[in-house]
């Protein structure tokens, strides 16, 4: 069966943010300062309200500056094993497994950092991941984002680039997401599906006749 099924991660597959889970472990280990915990609610609220700006992503993550790739991977793995794995919606995991059994290619398309979503991808048996990447120099994080964050139109561009590289037809592809930021990619695929939406994305979905799923 042709086509790619793209899934957003935070609040689509998982109840909690992968970034928030990572930070909680990093703070506990003393790798990042505790004051970061006070900034996390702002990021969460602005993201959920759909008012987070691209330049907020482009500003990078200065509190990660100086951390080695190996340390970040270790914390990401631990935050998944101890916290994020329990946040996975059972219905989402079942849906992904069903799509795979039907011969579909499943891919994660997340604005979150690739280091944070890779443990989830491995757990779900997903080989294809597009996500935001951090910049590293000599295997040490600079705190900056590499290239353009996978946000709004950039997520659409990267997903369609993958579709073209695989010789697939966007009309045969699907995208599952909870975020109002993802409307550009929802509009670009033949089978958009809105998952656990807030009132704004629910309104858009109803206007466009997109299916709405409530996963738990």
Contact 39, 114 (CB under 8 A): no
Domain residue spans of the chain: 4-213
SS3 184: helix
Do residues 113 and 131 lie in contact, with contact meaning Cβ atoms separated by under 8 Å?
yes
DSSP at 30? T
**The pair of three-digit structure tokens given for residue 27, joined into one six-digit string:** 């703070």
Read off the pLDDT of residues 68-100 as tens digits, 9 standing for 90 and up. Answer: 999 999 999 999 999 999 999 999 999 999 999
**Predicted confidence (pLDDT) per residue in 148-205, tens digit:** 889 899 999 999 999 999 999 999 999 999 999 999 999 999 999 999 998 899 999 9
Residue with tokens 């907020």: 56
Which CATH code for domain 4-213? 3.40.50.1000
| Crossing angle between the packed helical segments 18-28 and 69-82, to the nearest 10 degrees | 110
Q: What are the tens digits of pLDDT across the range 31-58? A: 998 877 666 655 555 555 555 555 555 5
Model confidence pLDDT, tens digit, residues 94-153 = 999 999 999 999 999 999 999 999 999 999 999 999 999 999 999 999 999 999 889 899
Using the 8-state DSSP alphabet, how is residue 172 labeled?
G
Q: Check residue 99 and give its pLDDT.
A: 96
Look at residue 63 and tell me whether its pLDDT is greater than 80. yes
Given the structure tokens 């970034």, which residue do they identify?
Answer: 19
Q: Would you state the structure tokens that stand for residue 90, as one six-digit string?
A: 């059972």
Q: How far is CA 200 from the centre of its chain?
A: 19
């Amino acid at each position: 069966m042709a086509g790619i099924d793209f899934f957003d991660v935070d609040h689509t597959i998982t109840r909690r943010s992968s970034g928030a889970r990572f930070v909680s472990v990093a703070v506990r280990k003393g790798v990042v300062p505790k004051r970061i915990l006070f900034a996390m609610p702002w990021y969460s609220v602005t993201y959920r309200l759909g008012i987070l700006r691209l330049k907020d992503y482009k500003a990078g993550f200065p509190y990660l500056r100086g951390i080695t790739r190996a340390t970040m991977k270790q914390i990401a793995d631990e935050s998944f094993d101890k916290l994020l794995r329990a946040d996975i919606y059972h219905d989402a995991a079942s849906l992904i497994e069903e799509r795979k059994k039907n011969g579909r290619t499943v891919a994660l398309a997340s604005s979150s950092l690739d280091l944070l979503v890779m443990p989830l991808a491995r757990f779900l048996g997903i080989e294809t991941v597009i996500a935001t990447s951090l910049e590293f120099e000599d295997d040490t994080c600079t705190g900056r984002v590499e290239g353009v964050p996978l946000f709004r139109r950039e997520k659409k561009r990267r997903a369609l680039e993958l579709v073209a590289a695989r010789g697939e037809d966007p009309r045969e592809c699907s995208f599952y997401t909870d975020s109002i930021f993802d409307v550009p990619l929802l509009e670009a695929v033949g089978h958009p599906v809105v998952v656990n939406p807030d009132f704004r994305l629910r309104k858009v979905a109803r206007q466009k006749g997109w299916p709405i799923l409530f996963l738990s």
